[in-house]
Structure 1
Amino acid sequence: MFKDRTDAGKQLAKVFDNYRDENVLVLAIPRGGVEIGYQVAIYLNANLSLLISRKLPFPYNPEAGFGAVAEDGSTFINECAARGLSEGLIESIKDEQIREIKRRIEVLRNGEPLPDMKDRTVILTDDGLAMGSTMNAAIKLCKNRGASKIVVAVPVAGREVVNRIGNLVDDIIVLDIPPFFQAVAQVYENWYDVSDNEVLEIMNKVKT
């Protein structure tokens, strides 16, 4: 059990000693993954930026999703989950999330492009993996951008998702893999939705 995302990030960071000498770029997925990424980045004295990846939600159940899209258009679709959705509806939902991605780039990253990741070790962070869709899309983006090594780092995830995501990357680090995994929030004492303002506060600390 983690007290909060700060505690989880600090615990996760301690696993990365063997990455200290690599040319590391930490990319946090907003908003929940930003504090995690911040703790890893300061521990490694590494660069930190935000990679925007959004779940593609069901129109009748926004909490659940059938895939995800990243800011370069890299898309992951769970074919089983998306069964029954028309191609037009999927594209409409994707367009809506791309608009939110553009908003987040402007607000959370000040409109700046992603750092160059060619020939670099990229550590992707989030506060946990549920279905793994947003992480899957983020991984595709990093591969498209020429990252030499991709590492996924999260405090918690279910075994099935760990195995599936682990097959896509060079390394995956997960501190807690509960035998009965239901939701990311189950391992946090203090769980809440992170605001844009909190993300900006974290990123402002990186600049000071």
Structure 2
Amino acid sequence: MIFSTREEAGRRLAELLEAYRGAPETVIVALPRGGVPVAAAMAEVLGLPLDIFFVKKIPSPYNEEAGIGAVSETGLMQVDSQAVEMLGVNDEYLQRRAQEKLEQMHRKRELYGRPRSDYRGKTVILTDDGIATGSSMLLAAEALRREGAKRVIIAVPVAPSELLPILEKVADEVYVLHPSDNLIAVGRFYRDFHQLNDSEVLDLLARAPRL
């Protein structure tokens, strides 16, 4: 265990990002739901607006918990070609499940009352409560850059050490408080890693300044 809560992890990340305190045209973007308390704490310390960006995994047809790809709310999709080939997954399945995920993300954005933001010319500090495989974070970084973000900074509490070179290829800067050589599960690095509900997310978003 390294962090007591996601909020503590966010405050510690903010210390690494002191140079961005109050920076113009800069926004902290969380991957919901787990990234929101991390981002909210960072936004409070650094005096920056908070936003959200949705990415969802595309599950295996044989195991809903195993991802074989991911899709962003902007429609950008990436798939694990090796897994797709091994499992014999066809394009129709991928497109159908991606559309389901897009609809889920649209409904969630409506629930949170946050229309999609314009990131053109912005510096985006992208965060989550941790990185396991990296698929969601890598896709989010690419999608935000395609949305016009001038710079993309990835800042997370914990990530596998072997992913750092890959993250550095898609981001302008990468900050990881605790790179791990043996990251089995992100939750093992927190004392409190409860599953956030929508009410908690709504409360955090309501208290944070908007872009």
TM class, shorter-chain normalised? over 0.9
Pairwise mapping of residues 60-99 of structure 1 onto structure 2 (< 5 A)?
60-83=62-85, 84-99=88-103
Structure 2 segments unaligned to the other structure (5+ residues): none
Cα offset, 1:144, TM superposition: 1.2
Instruction: Report how many residues are paired.
Output: 206
Q: Sequence identity of aligned pairs in percent?
A: 33
Displacement of 1:207 in angstroms is 5.2
TM-score computed with the length of structure 2 as normaliser? 0.92
* Corresponding residue to 1:101 among 102, 105, 120: 105
Letter in 1 for 2:98: K
Alignment gaps of 5+ in structure 1? none
What are the Cα deviations for residues 66-114 of structure 1, in whole angstroms up to 9, with x where unaligned? 1211111011212122222111111121111111111111112x1x432
Question: How far does the alpha carbon of each residue in 1:89-141 deviate from its partner, in whole angstroms, 9 at most, with x for none?
Answer: 11121111111111111112x1x432221111101110011111111221122
TM-score (norm 1): 0.93
Task: State the superposition RMSD in angstroms.
Answer: 1.5
Offset at 1:60? Answer: 2.0
Please state whether the residue corresponding to 1:157 is helix, strand or coil. strand
How many Å separate the matches in 2 of 1:74 and 1:137?
8
Q: 2:125 aligns with which of 101, 118, 123?
A: 123
Whether contact under 8 Å (2:43, 2:208) holds in the other structure is no
**Which stretches of structure 1, 4 residues or longer, exceed 3 Å deviation after superposition?**
none
In the alignment, residue 86 of structure 1 is paired with which amino acid?
N
Q: Which residue of 2 aligns with 1:202?
A: 204
The code of the aligned residue for 2:89 comes to L
Is the partner of 1:92 in helix, strand or coil?
Answer: helix
TM-superposed CA distance for 1:22, in Å, is: 4.5
In structure 2, the partner of 1:15 is: 16
